[in-house]
């Protein structure tokens, strides 16, 4: 009696989640210290200690009916104002509270944007490898997902491939930088050229194309890398942001959407995001954590923990003979699988209690993803298992 | 460039919200103490004082990565287990954690249920007067809203009307008890007969019909009234619950769905609710407040504050000559408008700074809704304005 859409999802439920359950099973059999679960992006770094005192400060100083009550569906105006000022300083912009819509994480943000934009059969372009949920989000609104093939030399979008993929039905393009699963940050030059190409295509087709930059990993970057701000390179652009990774608050579902002031039809778009928040059932981003965020804008988690994991694991894998692009951010590695069949490779890895995600889950077969947001000890203890896996494949 | 669906919503944005904005405007002109905003269901009763200490207890005793981290998309198993035990005791049931899906409020709950059930053009029946958002929720999944006319003698669903409204395309029926806007609690006899009718219709059409009971006001009841549990009267039944009203936490978006164990296709349904939580972008109900709820199950807000408002306002209106069914719960009154044109009536009320919502917003013209979840002083100070309104209409 399940709807057709859900029925097909039931049978092909997220590989990542399935592996999460399998990890728990293996842990019961072998002991959790002997299972190396690199399958899920659940940050192991603790939220900043300050979050606790900020919550206390809010509960002790603000009226409970304000803290836990309804507000505008786009969020508290003072919180949105604080975020806009923070972004203005960071990127030299001129945003006001009106540019900011508070959302239930980046997932909520992407859904209200797509609800706002998509008519059935509108095309939404993503670049392989891509976060698998994009397919479901686009499908929620009967859009058509168009996958532009991977450029494995850089793992940046290939604009020549993109050029031929854009049609008059193209309504949106989703990019994800720093990228899950590759860890690559899209360069300023790439974004500049992307913006130009989209301007040309809009002119050619007399259409509006909207660019959505999904940036939950914006703050998880290494060696002083920075993520260029998409708003500067294309007028019809949105940023989807989340505090799930940058403050290790994935369960709290708190994030925001930034809408570019230069966007075509700006006023209707922001009104529509507001209504979409309401009618999709989010109503508003969770209220206490909106207020927490406003007081946490300058706070960061300790990235060095991820960097230490990264150094140990990346160097070990490269020394073993795995080929892997060097990421500039996120807590993922995306090495090449020694065989084309990445699903078989990940099955083999399980023999050594290594839980990895096949690249096929990201539309990019022949690779696999390692989430290294786990303890340093897990990484250290997993190295012999990677040795055995490399040996099995005669690397 | 907005999608067609959103475009039509932009022009007819929620009357209730529009009035909320208008209230703020009037307050700026006349001073907030001289504007009587009865338009929105934002609880004025404070959340229980204990919520604060419970949050502190959790932050001090539980691991931050547990409290703020990802969990199963259906919610923490221990929280779901606690809720199932609470309901078992309250209603003499045999639920386990599997029957409970934690949701972003009741709005999130209704959306994941409808995502699970509806194919395009499936029919969903509601009874006028009904909460206007149901129309949007059904439209999210391209279902067809079927409105069964009001029985103004009782404001309970009229089963004869319902009988002729059910077709082979009927997929779901939404009831709302205690009811927004009437405050009526549906009786045991009504639910029993409703269950029987649905059983007959399922047999007649060889179909499955799902009954969704939306119960955010279940704990806001007066004079020891109780709300019968729908699970006992019909196998294919869900309860949608929220702590927005019962604990005055509307901004926190925390609630749950109960799925009847006897439901046809139970296992697929609960898996689908889980996936729907994920792919609609909720991902999970906010994590800290899931844990808060588990420790607040026996706590109640002080209903006597609403009751005092109710007594003062209801008696005054009846004495003035307004005709109004006596509610058993909620914080709404739904009097008959002295003229058929409820929209004109509410416009006239604004002359006296009274903000009321036309019954038309609930599919029930000729009536108006008063939300009395405001301060006692607001009620007291508003009485002369109601006197003038009654005089204008020569009551």
Indicate yes or no: CB of A250 within 8 angstroms of CB of B70.
yes
Share of chain A above pLDDT 70, in %: 98
Contact B46 A56 (CB under 8 A): no
Q: Which of B242, B265, B294 is the last residue of a domain?
A: B294
A110 to chain B, closest Cα gap in Å: 8
Q: What is the pLDDT of residues A165-223, one digit of tens each?
A: 999 999 999 999 999 999 999 999 999 999 999 999 999 999 999 999 999 999 999 99
| B340 and B307 within one domain | yes
Residues B281, A107: C-beta atoms closer than 8 Å = yes
Task: Answer yes or no: do A247 and A170 share one domain.
Answer: yes
For residue A21, pLDDT beyond 80: no
8 Å CB contact of A115 and B271? no
The predicted structure's pLDDT at residue A8: 87
Q: Which of A118, A208, A281 sits opposite B3 (nearest CB)?
A: A118
pLDDT band at A32; cut points 50, 70, 90: confident
- The residue of chain B nearest to residue A21, with distances taken between CA atoms, is B72
Q: Model confidence at A3, in pLDDT bands (50, 70, 90)?
A: very high
Please state, as a whole number, how many other Cβ atoms lie within 10 Å of the Cβ of residue B361. Answer: 23
Cross-chain Cβ contact A269/B70 below 8 Å: no
CATH code of the domain containing A351:
3.90.1150.10
Within this chain, do residues A76 and A185 fall inside the same structural domain, yes or no?
yes
CA distance linking residue B289 with residue B22, whole number of Å: 32
Q: Please, which residues have CB within 8 angstroms of residue A94's CB and are 6 or more apart in sequence?
A: A88, A261
Tell me the torsion sign for CA atoms B177, B178, B180, B186.
positive
Q: Which two tokens stand for residue A301?
A: 């988690």
**8 Å CB contact of B117 and A288:** no
Partners of residue A256 on adjacent β-strands: A102, A241
Residue A323 to chain B, least CA–CA distance (Å): 31
Gap between the Cα atoms of A307 and B117, Å rounded:
45
Specify whether A25 is located in the same domain as A169.
Answer: no
* Token pair listed for B96: 């386990």
Q: Check whether residue B13 and residue B153 sit in a common domain.
A: no
Residues B43 and B107 both lie in one domain? no
Identity of the residue in B44, B111, B264 whose CB atom sits nearest the CB atom of A281 = B111
* Alpha-carbon gap: A392 to the closest alpha carbon of chain B (Å): 34
Contact B174, B124 (CB under 8 A): yes
Q: Which of B250, B265, B294 is the last residue of a domain?
A: B294
Residue A53 lies in a domain: no
> Last residue of some domain: B238, B266, B294?
B294
What pLDDT shows up at residue A64?
A: 95
Which of chain A's residues have a Cβ under 8 Å away from the Cβ of B139?
A: 279
Residue B16 has a pLDDT of 57
pLDDT tens, residue by residue, A251-282? 999 999 999 999 999 999 999 999 999 999 99
Q: What is the pLDDT of residue A24?
A: 80
Q: What angle do CA B75, B81, B87 make, to 5 degrees?
A: 110
Q: How far is B395 from chain A (nearest CA, A)?
A: 36
Neighbours of A287 (CB within 10 A): 26
Same domain? A37 vs A154: no
If you average pLDDT over every residue of chain A, what do you get? 95
At residue B17 the predicted structure's pLDDT band, cuts being 50, 70 and 90, is low
DSSP bridge pairs for A145:
A124
Residue A245 in contact with residue A43, Cβ under 8 Å?
yes
Give A339's DSSP letter: S
Structural domain harbouring B154: 50-294
Q: Chain B closest CA to A226's CA: distance in Å? A: 26
Separation between Cα atoms, residue A334 and residue A357, nearest integer Å: 9
Question: Closest by alpha carbon to A229, among A126, A316, A99, A322?
Answer: A99
**What is the structure's pLDDT at B113?**
98
Alpha-carbon gap, residue A230 to A194, rounded angstroms: 10
Contact B348, B390 (CB under 8 A): no
Shared domain check, A239 and A375: no
Backbone angles phi, psi at B351, to 5 degrees: -60, -25
The answer on pLDDT for B14 being more than 60 is: no
Is residue B75 a contact partner of residue B287, using CB atoms and an 8 Å limit?
no
| Interface with B, mutate which of A3, A120, A121, A265 (most B CBs under 10 A) | A3
Residues making up chain B, counted from first to last? 395
Taking CA–CA distances from B276, the nearest residue in chain A reads A6
CATH of the domain at B129: 3.40.640.10
DSSP A111-122: HHHHHHHPPTT-
The domain tally of chain B equals: 2
Nearest-angstrom CA–CA distance, B253 and B243: 8
User: Of A68, A63, A65, which Cα lies nearest the Cα of B242?
Assistant: A68
Q: With an 8 Å Cβ cutoff, are A43 and B59 in contact?
A: no
Q: In chain A, which residues have their Cβ closer than 8 Å to the Cβ of B44? A: 65
- N-to-C CA span, chain A: 50
Of the candidates A284, A329, A63, the one whose C-alpha atom is nearest the C-alpha of residue A177 is A329
Start-end of H helices in chain A: 4-11, 15-30, 50-61, 64-67, 77-91, 105-117, 133-140, 159-165, 188-205, 243-246, 266-279, 287-294, 304-320, 342-350, 376-392
User: Are A251 and B137 a contacting pair at CB < 8 A?
Assistant: no
Minimal Cα–Cα distance from B31 to chain A, Å?
Answer: 20
pLDDT band, residue A235 (cuts 50/70/90): very high
The answer to whether the CB atoms of A272 and B104 lie below 8 A apart is no
Q: Are residues B43 and B113 in the same domain?
A: no
What ipTM was predicted for this assembly?
0.96
Kind plus residue range of the DSSP H or E element containing B320: helix B304-320
Q: pLDDT by residue (tens digit) across A98-132?
A: 999 999 999 999 999 999 999 999 999 999 999 99
What φ, ψ does residue A255 adopt, rounded to 5°? -165, -170
One domain, residues A275 and A306? no
Residue in A6, A55, A283 nearest the CB of B107: A283
pLDDT for position A17? 63
pLDDT band with cut points at 50, 70 and 90 for residue A33: confident
Strand, coil or helix: A307: helix
The 10 Å Cβ neighbour count of residue A29 is 9
Rounded alpha-carbon distances, angstroms, from residue B286 to A247, A280, A287, B103: 15, 16, 10, 8
- SS3 label, residue A315: helix
**Mean pLDDT score of chain B:** 95
> Do B10 and B136 belong together in one domain?
no
Q: What integer pLDDT is reported at residue A69 of this predicted model?
A: 93
Is the pLDDT reported for residue A15 higher than 70?
no
Q: Which tokens go with A11?
A: 């049978």
Please tell me the predicted confidence (pLDDT) of residue B303.
93
Is there a single domain that holds both residue A281 and residue A144?
A: yes
Q: 3-class SS at A198?
A: helix
CB A104 within 8 Å of CB A253: yes
């Amino acid at each position: 009696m399940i709807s057709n859409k859900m029925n097909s999802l039931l049978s092909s439920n997220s590989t990542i989640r399935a592996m999460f359950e399998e990890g728990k099973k293996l842990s019961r059999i072998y002991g959790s210290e002997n299972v190396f679960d690199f399958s899920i992006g659940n940050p192991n770094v603790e939220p900043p200690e300050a979050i606790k005192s900020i919550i206390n400060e809010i509960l002790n100083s603000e009226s409970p009916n304000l803290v836990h009550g309804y507000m505008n569906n786009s969020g508290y105006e003072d919180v949105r104002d604080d975020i806009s000022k923070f972004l203005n300083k960071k990127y030299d912009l001129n945003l006001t509270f009106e540019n900011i819509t508070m959302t239930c994480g980046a997932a909520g943000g992407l859904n209200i944007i797509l609800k706002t934009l998509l008519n059935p059969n509108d095309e939404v372009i993503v670049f392989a490898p891509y976060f698998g949920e994009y397919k479901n989000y686009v499908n929620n609104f009967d859009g058509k997902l168009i996958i532009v093939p991977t450029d494995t030399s850089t793992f940046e979008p290939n604009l020549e491939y993109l050029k031929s993929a854009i049609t008059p039905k193209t309504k949106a393009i989703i990019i994800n930088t720093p990228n899950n699963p590759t860890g690559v940050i899209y360069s300023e030059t790439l974004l500049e050229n992307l913006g130009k190409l989209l301007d040309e295509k809009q002119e050619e087709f007399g259409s509006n194309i909207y660019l959505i930059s999904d940036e939950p990993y914006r703050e998880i970057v290494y060696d002083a890398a920075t993520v260029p701000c998409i708003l500067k390179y294309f007028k019809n652009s949105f940023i989807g942001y989340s505090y799930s990774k940058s403050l290790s608050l994935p369960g709290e579902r708190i994030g925001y959407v930034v809408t570019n002031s230069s966007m075509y039809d700006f006023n209707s778009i922001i009104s529509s995001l507001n209504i979409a928040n309401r009618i999709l059932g989010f109503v508003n981003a969770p209220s206490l954590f909106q207020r927490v965020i406003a007081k946490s804008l300058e706070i960061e988690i300790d990235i060095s923990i991820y960097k230490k994991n990264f150094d140990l694991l990346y160097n070990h894998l490269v020394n073993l003979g795995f080929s892997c692009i060097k990421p500039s951010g996120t807590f993922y590695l995306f090495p090449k699988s020694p065989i084309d069949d990445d699903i078989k490779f990940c099955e083999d890895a399980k023999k050594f209690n290594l839980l990895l995600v096949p690249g096929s889950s990201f539309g990019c077969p022949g690779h696999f993803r390692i989430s290294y947001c786990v303890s340093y000890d897990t990484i250290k203890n997993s190295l012999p298992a990677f040795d055995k896996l490399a040996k099995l494949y005669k690397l």
